[in-house]
Amino acid sequence: MSTIGNMTSTRARTGVGTARLAGAGLLILLGGFALLGPLFISSDPSTQDLGASLAPIGGDYLLGADHYGRSLLARLAHGARLSFGMAFLTMLAAAVPGILLGLAAAWKGGWAERMLEFVATVVLALPGLMLVLLLLAFSPGNHGPLFLGLSLTLWVEFYRLTKATTRTVLAQPHIEAARMLGFGSRYILVHYVLPVIGPMIATLSAFAMATAIIAVSTLSAISVGLQPPTPELGSMIVELLPYFAEAPVHVLLPAVLIFLLVLGLQLLTQGDRA
């Protein structure tokens, strides 16, 4: 989860560059596959047909079948939806409290900020995946602890970025002038603070989603995350790995989908370079 930590030391780039457009286009395609694929693909991702075990690409199975004869196209579509959904919800659950607490800490300061800093330090003292594993120990293989653990890990980055940037903005002379002219906190927040932190939060959100996708896949791959027969991309790779010699493309398909999801999010954070 070091990607999120590295990002907070840089400012969001402005401009809509070629890389950002490419990332947006890639995510639109993958999002369409994830959202609409399960609606138009008639195959059930859990339906087994042992007679079609490791069926090649083409024929009755457009992208082949796994070792249980389950449609890889259907499983990839449901896996992409699961990864997208969990990543987006995790990002929201981390961003909303992180941003609100960061704004409150920068605005109020005092004991509230000291308490929040202590909580953030405690969370950062634990390796991100360790915190997720601790929660998964109470209910292994379920969505809830996995979602909660990732959110608890990622909110700190939103909090610290928001607090540091907001404090810098509030220290500017024009903010003091606005206060002296009688403009309220809401006006200052909407017109001066949010336009500055907005692009940074958007960039951090993309990094957070990419981190969540990688974390979910990694935990499922080591059998402590979502468990089979749930069509999760990381667990699909592990399930098919023993058959790599017979069907290497089948193993690579979920790995390529993870790569494309993360690549699209990473490209989306790029902008025009000066």
CA dist 76 and 65 (Å) reads: 11
Which 3 state secondary structure label does DSSP give 61? strand
The pTM (predicted TM-score) of the whole model is 0.83
Q: Which of 51-60, 172-181, 240-249, 253-262 has the lowest mean pLDDT?
A: 172-181
The predicted-structure confidence for 18-47, as pLDDT tens digits, reads as follows 888 999 999 999 999 988 888 778 778 888
171, pLDDT greater than 50: yes
CB neighbours of 250 closer than 8 A, spacing ≥ 6? 54, 64, 66, 72, 240, 243
How does residue 94 score in pLDDT terms, banded at 50, 70 and 90? very high
Burial class of 241 by CB neighbour count within 10 A (0 to 12, 13 to 18, 19+): exposed
pLDDT of 260 > 90? The answer is yes
Q: Which of 110-124, 176-190, 256-270 has the lowest mean pLDDT?
A: 176-190
Could you give the 3-state DSSP secondary structure of residue 71?
strand
- The Cα–Cα gap between 192 and 174 comes to 9
Q: Sketch out the chain's domains with CATH numbers.
A: 2-268 (1.10.3720.10)
Answer with the residue of higher pLDDT: 226 or 257. 257
Cα separation, 115 vs 237, whole angstroms: 43
Please tell me the predicted confidence (pLDDT) of residue 141. Answer: 64
What pLDDT, on the 0 to 100 scale, is given for residue 7?
44
pLDDT digits (tens, 9 = 90+) for 201-247: 999 999 999 999 998 888 888 777 777 788 889 889 989 999 999 99
Rounded-to-integer distance, Cα 28 and Cα 134, Å: 35
**CB–CB of 269/14 below 8 Å?**
no
Distance of alpha carbon 21 from alpha carbon 37, whole angstroms: 23
3-state secondary structure of 100: helix
Residue 175 pLDDT > 90: no
In tens, the pLDDT along 190-201 reads 888 889 999 999
Q: How far apart are CA 52 and CA 73, in angstroms?
A: 14
pLDDT tens-digit readout, 116-148 = 999 988 888 877 777 777 777 776 667 777 888
Residue with tokens 């800093």: 117
pLDDT tens for residues 38-82? 877 877 888 888 888 888 988 788 889 999 999 999 999 999 999
Q: By C-alpha distance, which of 91, 117, 71, 107 is closest to 201?
A: 91
**Mean of the per-residue pLDDT values of the chain:** 84
Given a cut of 50, whether residue 273 has pLDDT beyond it is no
Q: Could you check whether the bond before residue 195 is cis, i.e. omega within 30 degrees of 0?
A: no
The predicted pLDDT at position 16 comes to: 62
Q: What share of the chain is helix, strand, coil (3-state, %, to 5)?
A: 75, 0, 25
